[in-house]
Structure 1
Amino acid sequence: MTAMHKASFTKHEELQSLITGVLRRRGMPCYLQVLGAGCDVGRSCLHLSFSGANLLLDCGAHPGFADARRFPDFKSLGSKLSSLDAILISHFHFDHAAALPLLTETLQCQAPLYMTEPTRDLAELMLSDFISTSASRRQHCPFSKADARNCLARVRLLCLGQTTAIQGKSTEISVTPYYSGHVLGAVMLHVRVGSTSVLYSGDYSTRSDRHLRAANVPFGLEPDLFITEATYCSTVRREGRRAQEDALMNAVTEAVCNEGKVLVPISAFGRVHAVCALFASHPDADLLKNVPLYVVSGLASKAINSYEKHTDWTANTKKGDSTHTDASLPNDGVEQQATLACDPFTSRLKTFNRNEHWGMLEAPGSMILFATPGNMSTGLSLDVFREWASDSRNTVVVPGFCFANTFASKLISGHSVEGHSSEINCRLVNMMFGSHADARGIVRTCRKVKARAVMLVHGDRDKVTQFRQQLSDALEVPCFAPANGDTVVISTSSPSRLSPSLSRNQIGWFEPYILYVPVAFGSDCIFSSVHFIRS
């Protein structure tokens, strides 16, 4: 490597300090440190700092790892951890909220927590399940159920579409949540300080389903930065919702007709209701009318109560109701339906208790079991799979997206599965339930909000890297995809040149730009790894 590629700085802090000084003379910069979900899916967590605000966006864990990769890299925040103004949570899923008690109770972060009411209610169930499952597997969990309760007791609620003012340590911050579909309570978060704003998508769906409406964010928000998930950025769903539902129904009815059993691993209880609504409305519903339906006990009844409590979030309107649907995004021409406790299949759900009902797994006859977790990394879904896998009459519905290094991801990829010795003869049906935006949905949403720059997170490295360029070409705005550990710096000032203290050989020209800098440089800071993108 040539000398011109090397800088005289050996620490990330020295580089950031110098660039900070340059930017402050040209306008307040915006920093975004990627603690998780950078060119990866899992442990979503971003540190956002701009105009005096100091925020954390999501605080998740990775279900596929039990080592240092399980939780966000909180240590890299250093003293900034104690100066956080708020922690904003987009939704209750494990990879977006499971590290909260670690941050607030174990690490004693005193920042207030903000989320919607359904997210708070369901996060309690998710954390309880995480702790119980860890204990049953003798896996270390760095917090207790008491810690989880104390953490969630501090939550301050966000109301859909209403702006909440947060008084930070040095400035006032405005946060407005917008409906994002995906799961009950999920929102996009529009954060504004003065004239600068950032829109964070969390996870979102641009298609409605039988459980939830499509994401609905206002036209023309024009944030300085739109941080969007990119889970399915390499996918364009050409088949409609009906085709996916028919494929699922055909797999289930075929197993039932052969007196087989069906396992449906789930990560969100809303999917149980969506599948039950499908069963009830499908022309082949009569084939399932006598088949027992079970859902994992304990959390099931509490989750059902939560969903019934928040039916205003669900798909309980007709197609074309502009107050609840996004007319600019596809809904496959299927009318929306209320899916909670209003169809005969949901009302037939019985709770499955491991201690009481395990024997029926080997009993003759068909049954359908919804079990957690969705990625079968541990828990009941994994145990039931091992019990049923050898029988060719049985069917397992594997979720469309699986976290890396989980049991389900290895199963789909055909890799050997550690700890599973019996032969796998059951039918595996890989279903994409559509709870994430595909490539077309991401592009349409970006065009709708009209951001000045776009950042991709929550996606596979190779796929995100390729999509970034395609998205930039389509939108004609800067698009980038930093990795875990990168720090992003954004300036929106007028064109200018760097301070003479940095030579052109070291960095060169920069005009209104976006810069991202890897945190771990080793012995030298290599400027060939520093990317400047014109804004």
Structure 2
Amino acid sequence: MATKRPHPSAAAPSADDDDPVDPSDELMFLALGGGNEVGRSCHIIQYKGKTVMLDAGIHPAFDGLAALPFYDEFDLGTVDVLLITHFHMDHAASLPYVLAKTPFKGRTYMTHPTKAIYKWLMQDSVRVSNTHRAPASSTSTSANDGGAIAQLYTEADVLQTLPQIQTISFNTTHTHAGIRITPYPAGHVLGACMYLIEIAGLSILFTGDYSRENDRHLIPATIPRGLKVDCLITESTFGISTHIPRAEREIALMKSITGILGRGGRVLLPVFAIGMAQELLLILEDYWTRHPEYQRFPIYFASALARKCMVVYQTYIDSMNDNIRSKLHSGATTGPWDFEHIRSLKSLDRFDDVGGCIMLASPGMLQNGVSRALLERWAPDPKNGVVITGYSVEGTMAKEIMKEPDSIPSVMGQRNNPSLAPGRKIGEEKTMIPRRCTVQEFSFAAHVDGSENRAFIEEVNAPVVVLVHGERGNMMRMRSRLLGLGKFKVYSPANCEEVRIPFRRDKVAKVVGSLASTYTPTGETIGGDVKRPRAEGDPQTISGILVQSDHKLSL
């Protein structure tokens, strides 16, 4: 079990730091997941007796309870509001567990597109979990050995807890238990949002995963100009590294893909079923339309889930950028998500594996499912190629395959991999499969790079910055870069490392009622008449009844 521990000082203390601070004026931040790691994002913020939970994901490199955030380190029954930024598994997949199997009784919010896709994703995750569970005789529980997947929740849990989730729209403000929340577009994926959280006059902006890149279908992350923020909680996925310009990445990607096809191979693109996959589909469709010489090579998108979720994409076209909206309103007979050169593939049973092709298959981390089955099938042939386009989490096969190992372990069983030794059963000692296929990476992960993240942090100009969602090395480099600017206090807590951030602020009461009619801030008053002018700094005492409501004071 992890142990909560205090976080070291984020910067050299100032003279003011010697003054005592009322504990009620401290913002408490606790990462239950996503601290010095990418995966199982879940953070707690607490201020003035109000508690907000940010995201509820799982870690893609682990299974069962090991994949959860450290929920046993905090009483979820005290959480007032739970905010989900987007539908990806590492940000939302433990929500059914929280709603069905913990003492949590607060209110849950996400955007309309997020909830629509979340439903399908969670149901699919349960089915995949059931499909790839080892037989009862297996006692293995490691995520990396193909052992049993301990089921965290059932499909019934997903459906029964859906009514507990309230939907909200971008740029609208909602209040619950004295907590004001406003979502803003975050880019990244359809429906992804940042949250502005306001508690007792303190403003906290949580970015979640965000992107400021102009891609082919999403609106970049945007917040109102001049927005006042006291504390910024931001991702640090890529640390200080900088992406290659978008146009150059697209050219390099297509050169790699066509090169593999040219040598008679098959191309495997592991992707999340929803998110970056849609961006890649737009890139491939555009290229195939402009290059008829490649149209003899089929492009497959292997995901029954994606076909369901494409209905959501077609429904929320008005939430996308001008590139998509203009295609809808151009009068064309086909919509922006109707593809001519891409075929949907419901299962590998319907796949005629003959000749060169491109296959987009989920999951993106290559842990199991269609993408892992195809990797194990195609890896021994040097003509074939794997192209990684998303961020790969430590401990997953997607990360390991980029190291170009000589062999990879089989986890899919003889049913999906004809190359396994005859008679071998799932759960027995693994067969290793030779890896002779090529492996290349072209990042299209919809996350800000180091330069974009720094520019956004400086634009927001919050005095306190908390870094999350980054491997330790990347996070430390970003922290050092920001501290070097000398403008921010910067924290980068590990999981279960409690941070307490003081926010000294004057307490202001609004004078109301009959007292307001006899009081003027510029001089002493008697019966409404000014007796004498009051010099600036001259103390003045008034008396009345002080009333507090949701941290607002009235006299």
Settle same-fold status: TM greater than 0.5. yes
* Aligned mates of 1:424, 1:339 — CA distance in 2: 45
Task: Check conservation: 1:314, 1:338, Cα contact below 8 A.
Answer: no
1:481 offset after TM fit, Å?
Answer: 0.4
- Structure 2 Cα separation of the partners of residues 31 and 338 of structure 1: 53
Structure 1 residue 479: deviation in Å?
0.9
Which residue does the alignment assign to 2:343? 350
Q: Deviations over 1:346-387 (max 9, x none)?
A: 2443322336324x12x2x22222111111111110111111
Aligned-pair CA distance for 1:219: 2.9
Q: Which moved more, 1:132-141 or 1:392-401?
A: 392-401
CA contact (8 A) 2:317 2:324 kept: no
Hey, what does 1:454 align to over in structure 2?
Answer: 465
Deviation at 1:282, TM superposition (A): 3.4
Report what 1:486 is aligned to.
Answer: 497
Report how far residue 344 of structure 1 moved.
9.0
Of 98, 105, 127, 2:93 maps to: 98
**Are 2:313 and 1:282 aligned?**
no
Residues 218 and 320 in structure 2, CA contact (< 8 A), matched pair in contact too: yes
Which of the residues 288, 298, 312 maps onto 1:306?
312
What TM-score does the superposition give when structure 2 sets the normalisation length? 0.76
Question: Aligned residue for 2:360?
Answer: 370
C-alpha displacement of 1:159 = 0.6
Q: Which residue of 2 aligns with 1:465?
A: 476
Q: How has the CA–CA distance of structure 1 residues 12 and 263 changed in structure 2, closer, same or farther, with 3 Å as cutoff?
A: closer
Match of 2:10 in 1: none
TM-superposition CA deviations, 1:382-422 (whole Å, max 9, x none)? 11111111222222111342111111111113456433622
Specify the alignment match of 1:410 in structure 2.
400
- Structure 2 vs 1, CA of residues 343 and 114 (structure 1 numbering), >3 Å: closer, same or farther? closer
Cα distance change, pair 442–338 in 1 and its aligned pair in 2 (3 A): farther
Corresponding residue number in structure 1 for 2:26: 29
1:471, distance to aligned residue in structure 2 (A): 0.9
CA distance in 2, matches of 1:339, 1:149: 38
Match of 2:535 in 1: none
- Pick one of 149, 152, 164 that aligns with 1:154: 164
3-state SS in 2 of match to 1:222: coil
Deviation at 1:268, TM superposition (A): 4.3
Letter in 2 for 1:199: L
Matched, 1:386 2:372: no
Give the direction of change, closer, same or farther, for the CA distance of 1:366–1:418 in structure 2 (3 Å limit): closer
C-alpha contact 1:211 1:339 (8 A) present in aligned 2: no
Q: What is the TM-score normalised by the length of structure 1?
A: 0.79
1:66-145 alignment to 2 at 5 Å?
66=63, 68-78=65-75, 81-138=76-133, 139-145=149-155
Residues of 2 paired with 1:38 and 1:412: CA distance?
A: 24
Q: Which residue of 2 aligns with 1:530?
A: none
> Considering only aligned residues, what root-mean-square deviation do their CA atoms show, in Å?
2.8
**Partner AA of 1:105 in structure 2:** A
Are the aligned partners of 1:273 and 1:340 in contact in 2 as well (CA < 8 Å)? no
Measured at CA, do residues 383 and 11 of structure 1 come closer, stay the same or move farther in structure 2, by a change above 3 Å?
A: closer
Contact 1:210–1:338 (CA under 8 A) maintained in structure 2: no
Counterpart contact for 1:315–1:338, Cα < 8 Å: no
Q: Shift of residue 37 of structure 1?
A: 0.5
Report the counterpart of residue 37 of structure 2 in structure 1. Answer: 40
Q: Is the 8 Å Cα contact of residues 186 and 207 (structure 2) preserved in structure 1?
A: yes
Question: How far did residue 215 of structure 1 move?
Answer: 1.1
Shift of 1:482: 0.4
Contact 2:97 2:152 in 1 (8 A): yes
How many pairs does the alignment contain?
452
The Cα of 1:279 is off from its aligned counterpart by 2.6
- Quote the offset at 1:303 in angstroms: 1.2
What runs of 5+ residues in structure 1 fail to find an aligned partner? Answer: 1-9, 14-21, 322-336, 496-535
1:244 maps to amino acid = R
1:439 maps to 2:450: yes
Aligned partners of 1:350 and 1:199: how far apart in 2? 41
SS at match of 1:433: coil
How has the CA–CA distance of structure 1 residues 339 and 181 changed in structure 2, closer, same or farther, with 3 Å as cutoff? farther
1:241 partnered with 2:250: no
Unaligned 5+ runs, structure 2 = 7-18, 134-148, 411-430, 507-555
Distance 2:47 2:359 in 1: 48
Q: Distance in 2 between matches of 1:271 and 1:11?
A: 35
2:211 to 205, 209, 216: 205
Q: Please say if residues 188 and 275 of structure 2, whose CA atoms lie closer than 8 Å, have aligned partners that are also in contact.
A: no
Inter-partner Cα distance in structure 1 for 2:97 and 2:205: 26
- Give deviations 1:244-302, integer Å, cap 9, x for gaps: 00111111112223332221111143433322322343385323323222222421211
Identity, % of aligned positions: 29
Which 4+ runs in 1 deviate beyond 6 A? 10-13, 337-341
Higher deviation after alignment, 480-489 or 107-116 = 107-116
Structure 1 residues 287 and 314, CA, compared in 2 at 3 Å: closer, same or farther?
A: farther
SS across alignment from 1:380: helix
Query: Cα deviations across residues 64-91 of structure 1 (Å, max 9, x unaligned)?
Result: 012654101111113xx11211110000
Q: Structure 1 counterpart of 2:226, which letter?
A: G
Task: Provide the rounded CA distance (Å) in 2 between the counterparts of 1:340 and 1:400.
Answer: 32
d(CA) in 1 for partners of 2:212 and 2:206? 15
Q: 1:84 to 1:391 in 2, by over 3 A?
A: same
Counterpart for residue 545 of structure 2: none
Shift of the alpha carbon at 1:191?
Answer: 0.3
Q: Secondary structure at the match of 1:160?
A: coil
Checking the alignment, whether the CA contact within 8 Å between 1:211 and 1:338 is kept in structure 2 is: no
For 1:410 and 1:267, how far apart are their aligned partners in 2?
Answer: 17
What is the DSSP-based 3-state SS (H/G/I as helix, E as strand, rest coil) of the residue aligned with 1:223? coil
Report Cα offsets for 1:279-329 as digits up to 9, x if no partner: 34338532332322222242121111011111122233499x9xxxxxxxx
CA distance in structure 2 between the aligned counterparts of 1:126 and 1:455, rounded to whole angstroms:
29
Residue identity matched to 1:65: F
The CA deviation at 1:345 is 7.5
Structure 1 pair 404–149 and aligned structure 2 pair: CA distance change class (3 A): same
Find the counterpart in structure 2 of residue 325 from structure 1: none
Matched, 1:175 2:170: no
Distance 1:11 1:182 in 2: 31
Counterpart in 2 of 1:517?
Answer: none
